[in-house]
A = this chain, B = another copy of it.
Amino acid sequence: MSGKIICFGELLLRLGAPGQQLLLQTPTLDVHVGGAEANVAVSMARFGHAARMVGAVADNALGHAALGELRRHGVDVSDVQSVPGRMGLYFLTTGALHRPSEVLYDRADSAFVRAGGGRHDWPALCAGSDWLHVSGITPALGEVSANAVLEAMRAARQAGCKVSFDGNYRPSLWQSWAGDAPRLLRAIMAEADLLFASHRDMQVVLGHEVREDTAEQRFAAGARAAFEAFPHLSQMTATIRDSDSVQQQSLAGITALRDGRLLQTRRYTLAGVIDRIGTGDAFAAGVLHGAIEGMPVEQALQFGVAAGCLKHSVPGDFNWMGMADVDAFLADGGVDVKR
């Protein structure tokens, strides 16, 4: 049972130093298309859903290339508008050992930001959809896109479309236009059915103190606060990550429900990480897939963590893994060569 999902957000070009080189150590850059919501859209399309990207790109060769890349993965981009301006970029240096990967953003004043994400007929868009997904990056890009997020979410609720929101709090983006993050995020989260968020997101938004010892307790406390503050919220979920080195990490998933239940997956070891970017979005897409397919929450959480783990093995921002890949992971199909 596949669904129709709308993702609203900015497309970015990632320009990365090859391998583990420093930025411009050699004069070549590898290009990927990304963006928190686009990453989710691609994953959903790969899981068999009708994924529609909504937003705006620069009306030039870079913007057109970004759209082409989404189309390649089967995402409908007819509602991404081509508008004057520049594409948002980010430069990536992939780390190793104790040297962390570094993102250098060059996304200020992008075509998306200037156009406030584009002008869209949200009621019409939501009428034909089952789900709307947005991340905290879209409202962080400016007043206009923050309001567009609210408008989109309210249209979604109106149309009986479920709403998910991924915290993705980036202080630097909010500071660049002095946006009142707590106020706007509270308004936005109040419209969400499903929240991808950590206790840190809740701290930013609700301002409560954190005194708990373990990651699980902190998450549970943040979730309790969220359920109190946001009446429509039925589920909050997150990953718990442990990083020994850039290449050696581990990942688990955790979900809190309004009835107080706290579900967790086992912790998966990630020895030999290829690309950590977009793994949170891959997790989110996995959980959304489970939700749309009507899986029990625990199973959806499992599916999300499996998708998130697999993304660590895929170069680029997008998760190329389909349902068969995730199912094989969950069935522990083994890692020897498949012939």
Contacts and interface: CB of A to CB of B under 8 A. Distances in A.
B313 A95 contact: yes
A293 interface: no
- Name the interface size band of chain A: 35 or more
Interface string A272-291: 11101100000000000000
A277 B28 CA distance: 18
Contact of A26 (B26, B100, B309, B334): B26
Contact of A103 (B86, B105, B339): B339
Contact of A313 (B20, B91, B243, B309): B20
Interface in A268-321: 268-274, 276-277, 309-310, 312-316, 320-321
A212 interface: no
Interface string A60-86: 111001001101111000000000001
A23 interface: yes
A28 B31 contact: yes
B26 A29 contact: no
Contacts of A267: none
A257 interface: no
A180 interface: no
A273 to B, nearest CB: 7
A290 B310 CA distance: 41
A74 to B, nearest CB: 7
Nearest to A29: B29
A74 B75 CA distance: 11
Interface in A240-261: 241, 243-248
In the A-B complex, list the 6 residue pairs whose CB atoms are closest, starting with the nearest.
Answer: A24-B65, A96-B313, A247-B272, A72-B72, A27-B31, A68-B72
6 contacts: A15-B15, A86-B108, A87-B106, A97-B272, A103-B337, A276-B337
